[in-house]
């Protein structure tokens, strides 16, 4: 039984190792607070909402869409 | 700031490449016809009024009405911790100013029809394209520029024909490998990384093996080493990356779909010191690639796919001179 567990642990090890390494690179929650903003990607839809809610638009335009690129 | 953006405004985001056709070459759309006049007026009326003339781009942050009335414009730029703190503090005041101007001079009523909304939808990934998020970090906590402590981001598209090839063949299609090395394994930490042309990639050796099959899903493990370097004549420096990538791809061979893509890379980067404030000399980079399938991720193209109509086919059918 101990040998089987050891073999299973070894067979899982590369996948766990890959997952751990990836997790260390992924953004932390505090690095993605701005993604909690409900950004609309369709400017025409945003205009319609702005009209409906009587709120101004906040439009963020950068080189590369901010919702995917740096 | 995030809370205020969602509570006090209708927030919208996009790429300047798609919204400024005169500069980047994409077609005019219903969105560009609304955005460009508003943006130019906003810049001309702000303290950044000479910015457009000097920089030539309409990127930035705007407060405006749905009728195109501009209320304010700002941009986000910092090269030190002090500047970063000031940008954050000033941004809340800037939001307040835009809101006050909106109250003082409300926009005219507009009608935005269903057809306009349909035409305003962003250009996203085709249904058979697999989307992968690419993240990178500079592993150098003491780096001077505060943005070196952030996360680089982009999307990576694996097109339908490549996914089908993976399902049949279990080897990485060459355009996919070329695209990875030329356009995706870049240091995007401080700004979008500059892509390598087909001759600037000196090495791109990737191999795969099938490690198991779970029903219709075949799991491939892949590893690769890559080296690319370019001349940055404008800044009189060379920039490059040398690294290794390892990962797993799960391919549903019955549906020709990628159901899992996980990869990790370690590399050494150099250059871009003058262009974006990269660390001097050679510095450590790490990469993580993870599959995604949510509507927002599928709607936002990779930077180099969307950069201009010139880049789109080059991204799509990437190649390397060293393979000729």
In a domain, A68, yes or no: no
> What pLDDT score does A60 carry?
95
Please indicate, yes or no, whether residues B149 and B296 belong to a single structural domain of this protein. yes
Last residue of a domain, one of B89, B119, B149: B119
In a domain, A40, yes or no: yes
Please indicate, yes or no, whether residues B175 and B286 belong to a single structural domain of this protein. yes
Contact B188, B272 (CB under 8 A): no
Of A18, A19, A64, the CB nearest to B15: A64
Please indicate, yes or no, whether residues B22 and B110 belong to a single structural domain of this protein. yes
pLDDT value at B150 more than 70: yes
Those of residues 158-187 in B touching chain A at CB distance below 8 A are none
Please indicate, yes or no, whether residues B179 and B313 belong to a single structural domain of this protein. yes
- Helix residue ranges per DSSP H, chain B: 2-8, 16-19, 21-24, 30-44, 51-55, 81-104, 114-119, 160-169, 174-179, 273-276, 295-299, 303-306, 311-316
Last residue of a domain, one of B77, B99, B119: B119
pLDDT tens-digit series, residues B26-62: 999 999 999 999 999 999 898 887 777 777 889 999 9
Predicted structure pTM score: 0.91
Please indicate, yes or no, whether residues B181 and B318 belong to a single structural domain of this protein. yes
Please indicate, yes or no, whether residues B191 and B313 belong to a single structural domain of this protein. yes
Please indicate, yes or no, whether residues B72 and B140 belong to a single structural domain of this protein. no
In a domain, B125, yes or no: no
pLDDT tens-digit series, residues B305-324: 999 999 999 999 999 999 99
Q: How many folded domains does chain B comprise?
A: 2
In a domain, A60, yes or no: no
Q: What is the ipTM of this complex?
A: 0.89
Please indicate, yes or no, whether residues B251 and B166 belong to a single structural domain of this protein. yes
Q: What domain range includes position B77?
A: 2-119
Contact B252, B259 (CB under 8 A): yes
Contact B265, B135 (CB under 8 A): no
> What pLDDT score does B320 carry?
97
> Which residue in this structure is represented by tokens 């990607």?
A41
> Inter-chain contact A56–B17, Cβ cutoff 8 Å?
no
Which helix (H) or strand (E) element contains residue A62?
strand A57-62
> What pLDDT score does A51 carry?
97
Please indicate, yes or no, whether residues B32 and B138 belong to a single structural domain of this protein. no
> What pLDDT score does B147 carry?
78
Radius of gyration (C-alpha) of chain A in whole angstroms: 22
> Is residue B296 within 8 angstroms of chain A, CB to CB?
yes
Of A24, A37, A65, the CB nearest to B5: A37
Please indicate, yes or no, whether residues B76 and B213 belong to a single structural domain of this protein. no
Please indicate, yes or no, whether residues B209 and B308 belong to a single structural domain of this protein. yes
Q: What are the beta bridge partners of residue B184?
A: none
Average pLDDT, chain B: 93
Q: What are the beta bridge partners of residue B213?
A: B218
Last residue of a domain, one of B66, B84, B119: B119
How far apart are alpha carbons B261 and B296 in whole angstroms?
Answer: 18
Mutate to test the interface with B, among A27, A50, A52, A53 (most CBs of B within 10 A): A50
Please indicate, yes or no, whether residues B109 and B150 belong to a single structural domain of this protein. no
In a domain, B124, yes or no: no
In a domain, A58, yes or no: no
pLDDT value at B162 more than 60: yes
Q: Measured between CA atoms, how close is B227 to chain A, in angstroms?
A: 21
pLDDT value at B241 more than 70: yes
| pLDDT averaged per 10 residues in sequence order, chain A, 70 residues | 47 76 94 89 97 97 85
How far apart are alpha carbons B92 and B4 in whole angstroms?
Answer: 8
pLDDT tens-digit series, residues B106-132: 999 999 999 999 999 998 999 999 999
In a domain, A64, yes or no: no
Q: How many folded domains does chain A comprise?
A: 1
Q: What domain range includes position A30?
A: 2-53
- Beta carbon pairs, A and B, within 8 Å: 226
In a domain, B202, yes or no: yes
> Inter-chain contact B11–A36, Cβ cutoff 8 Å?
no
- Structure-block tokens of residue B297: 């991720």
């Amino acid at each position: 039984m101990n040998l089987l567990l050891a073999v299973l642990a070894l067979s899982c090890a590369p996948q766990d190792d890959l997952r751990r390494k990836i997790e260390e690179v992924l953004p932390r929650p505090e690095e993605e607070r701005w993604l909690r903003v409900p950004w609309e990607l369709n400017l025409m839809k945003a205009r319609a909402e702005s009209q409906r809610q009587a709120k101004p638009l906040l439009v963020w335009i950068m080189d590369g869409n901010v919702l995917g690129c740096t | 700031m995030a809370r205020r953006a969602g509570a006090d405004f209708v927030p919208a985001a996009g790429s300047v490449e798609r919204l400024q056709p005169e500069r980047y070459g994409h077609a005019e759309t219903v969105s560009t016809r609304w955005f460009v006049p508003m943006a130019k007026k906003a810049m001309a009326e702000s303290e950044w009024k000479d910015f457009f003339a000097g920089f030539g781009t309409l990127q930035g942050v705007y407060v405006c009405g749905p009728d195109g009335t501009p209320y304010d414009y700002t941009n986000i730029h910092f090269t030190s911790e002090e500047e970063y703190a000031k940008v954050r503090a000033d941004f809340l005041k800037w939001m307040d100013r835009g809101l006050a101007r909106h109250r003082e001079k409300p926009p005219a009523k507009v009608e935005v029809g269903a057809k306009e909304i349909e035409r305003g939808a962003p250009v996203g990934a085709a249904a058979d394209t697999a989307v992968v998020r690419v993240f990178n970090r500079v592993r150098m906590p003491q780096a001077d520029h505060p943005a070196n402590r952030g996360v680089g981001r982009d999307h990576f598209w694996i097109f339908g024909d490549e996914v089908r090839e993976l399902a049949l063949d279990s080897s990485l299609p060459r355009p996919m490998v070329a695209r990875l090395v030329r356009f995706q394994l870049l240091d995007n930490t401080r700004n979008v990384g500059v892509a390598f042309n087909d001759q600037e990639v000196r090495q791109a050796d990737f191999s795969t093996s099938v490690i198991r099959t779970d029903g219709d899903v075949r799991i491939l493990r892949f590893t690769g080493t890559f080296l690319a370097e370019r001349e940055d004549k404008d800044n009189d420096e060379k920039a490059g990356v040398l690294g290794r990538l390892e990962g797993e791809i799960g391919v549903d061979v019955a549906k020709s779909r990628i159901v899992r893509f996980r990869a990790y890379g370690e590399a050494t980067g150099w250059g871009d010191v003058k262009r974006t404030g990269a660390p001097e000399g050679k510095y450590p980079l790490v990469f993580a690639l993870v599959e995604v399938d949510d509507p927002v991720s599928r709607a936002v193209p990779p930077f180099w796919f969307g950069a201009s109509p010139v880049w789109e086919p080059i991204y799509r059918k990437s190649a390397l001179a060293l393979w000729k």
